[in-house]
Amino acid sequence: MHKKLNTRLLPFSQKTLLEISENFGTPVWVTDEKTIQDRCQQMIDAFSGINMKIFYAMKANYNPHYVKIIKDAGIYGIDAVSPNEVRLALELGYAPEHIIFTPSNPTDAEMKYVGDQNILQNLGSLSELERFGKMFSGSKVSVRLSPNIGVGECDKITTGQNESKFGIVLDDFSEVQNICTQYNLTLEGIHCHLGSGFYSATEFSEAFELLLEISEQFSDIKFIDMGGGFGVQYHPDKEEIDLKDFANTLSKSLEKSSNKNIEIRIEPGKFLISQSTVLLTKITTRKAKEIVFLGVDSGFHHLIRPAMYGAYQHIVNISKMDTDAEFENVQVAGNVCETCDIFNENIEIQKAEEGDILAVLVAGGYGSTMSSNYNMRETASEVLVKASGEVVLTKKRESYEDVMKGFVWG
Ligand SMILES: Cc1ncc(COP(=O)(O)O)c(C=O)c1O
């Protein structure tokens, strides 16, 4: 099968990646500082004509080195979903007003900890709002609404519809107001997050109009937070998302509104980080059954998106990039003892042999942060290629002792 290698989504040269695999071993996540900086700038530029604040959704990747790069690139704040994310954001120097806390089903202790730091909470149920009101009567708050508009790469990461666990349904908005009145809370913001991975502005625009309409009725509301979800190009043949389209729809709706200057917030995660990173993994086993399986030294304990979401991850055979090796159809399988431990079940890559290094592309978002120790396997090391070209280790590969350290036994 003759085909031309498409390296559009690969931010590194073959030499850099082979050297890293040699020096740091595999599996290893490799992240490109320059790509993170470029993605941040693209987002800032696209929305520059709007009263916009951008909060990085740290859940996508909380490696402190990368969060710091995002901060230094001019992204305003952090969207944190757990107290530990809040704590890291504070340790990285974010001021409390540059952090928003959007928890799922928080405990009172969690809300208390975050409230004590003077960080705005964005609460997704009447119960949470009421419990917050009891603890922090007289303070500011934001609510996560369920606009009943959801869109995402797959059902599991589509969140804005009323059937999802997230948000307060619009019919309950009058109850939100009652609770705010009862506890003297100022409703500063309204928020929605439609899902992760949308590529056109249709649903985004529809949901924005809904929230804008609500904001027009309440003078306390200072911002509308539209959440994250801006899609990234996982497949080299797929078109890049056009952020200007999103900015234009916002501008058009604002133009018609009595609330023209309201602050808009967004919380991109994957858009800022995903394309910066590849996961390097080595082929341990080549096996031909009905299809050729390439077994590798990584698996869904590192990158769970294909197994969990059925997500597409593009893969390049780095070892053969400089050759004219033909392409073949393969299934790239991990080293976890599960049938669904597959990185890509049908991909054409240059004919591979045991020992070759594969790069799983667009792996920076929801990759290392979703890693586990399933099968008692260690999480992988992480390496940053700085804009200067310097290569630094940002996270060590775990050891047997690391995997065992939480157990109380013996
Ligand atoms: C509340 C909230 N904001 C932002 C994000 C970031 O989404 P994405 O990484 O798709 O931009 C998420 C992710 O699920 C989220 O739950």
Report the distance separating Cα 113 and Cα 99, nearest Å: 14
Instruction: Report domain extents, the chain.
Output: 14-31+274-397, 33-273
More confidently predicted of 156 and 63: 63
Does residue 402 have a pLDDT over 70?
yes
**Residue 338 pLDDT grade (very low, low, confident, very high; cuts 50, 70, 90):** very high
Does residue 360 have a pLDDT over 90?
yes
Q: What are phi and psi of 264, to 5 degrees?
A: -110, 140
- Superfamily of the domain at 14-31+274-397: Lyase, Ornithine Decarboxylase; Chain A, domain 1 (2.40.37.10)
For the CA of 271, the closest atom of ligand 1 is 11
Ligand 1 site, residue 132, Cβ cutoff 6 A: no
**Average model confidence (pLDDT) for the chain?**
96
pLDDT, tens digit, 9 for 90 and up, residues 28-66: 999 999 999 999 999 999 999 999 999 999 999 999 999
Contacts (Cβ under 8 Å, ≥6 apart) of 39? 271, 272, 273, 275, 276
Ligand 1 site, residue 269, Cβ cutoff 6 A: yes
Q: Is residue 192 flagged as an active site residue?
A: no
Distance 269 CA to ligand 1 centre (A): 6
Q: Strand 277-288 to strand 28-32: parallel, antiparallel, or no bridges (unpaired)?
A: antiparallel
Distance 73 CA to ligand 1 centre (A): 20
Instruction: Name the fold adopted by 33-273.
Output: TIM Barrel (3.20.20)
Does residue 145 have a pLDDT over 90?
yes
Q: Strand 342-350 to strand 327-333: parallel, antiparallel, or no bridges (unpaired)?
A: antiparallel
Report the distance separating Cα 85 and Cα 88, nearest Å: 5
Report the distance separating Cα 312 and Cα 343, nearest Å: 8
**Tokens describing residue 343:** 């990185």
**Residue 2 pLDDT grade (very low, low, confident, very high; cuts 50, 70, 90):** low
Residue closest by Cα to atom 12 of ligand 1: 228
Ligand 1 site, residue 196, Cβ cutoff 6 A: yes
Does residue 306 have a pLDDT over 70?
yes
Does residue 1 have a pLDDT over 60?
no
Beta-ladder partners of 266 = 54
Report the distance separating Cα 270 and Cα 196, nearest Å: 8
Of 133, 103, 30, the closest CA to residue 381 belongs to 30
Distance 64 CA to ligand 1 centre (A): 18
Residue closest by Cα to atom 4 of ligand 1: 228
Q: pTM to 2 decimals?
A: 0.97
What average pLDDT does the segment 191-200 reach? Answer: 94
What average pLDDT does the segment 385-407 reach? Answer: 97
pLDDT, position 4: 80
Helix residue ranges, H only, 150-282:
173-182, 202-216, 243-256, 270-273
Residue closest by Cα to atom 16 of ligand 1: 193
Q: Would you say the CATH fold of 33-273 matches that of 14-31+274-397? A: no
pLDDT, tens digit, 9 for 90 and up, residues 77-103: 999 999 999 999 999 999 999 999 999
Ligand 1 site, residue 85, Cβ cutoff 6 A: no
Of 7, 2, 1, the closest CA to residue 275 belongs to 7
Instruction: Return the best residue to mutate from 101, 196, 246, 362 for the ligand 1 pocket (most ligand atoms within 8 A of CB).
Output: 196
pLDDT, tens digit, 9 for 90 and up, residues 230-274: 999 999 999 899 999 999 999 999 999 999 999 999 999 999 999
Does residue 3 have a pLDDT over 90?
no
Distance 204 CA to ligand 1 centre (A): 14
For the CA of 229, the closest atom of ligand 1 is 10
Distance 59 CA to ligand 1 centre (A): 8
Instruction: Return the best residue to mutate from 151, 194, 267 for the ligand 1 pocket (most ligand atoms within 8 A of CB).
Output: 267
pLDDT, position 58: 98
pLDDT, position 6: 86
Residue entry with tokens 């999802």:
164
Catalytic position from the list 154, 192, 337, 340:
337
Distance 137 CA to ligand 1 centre (A): 28
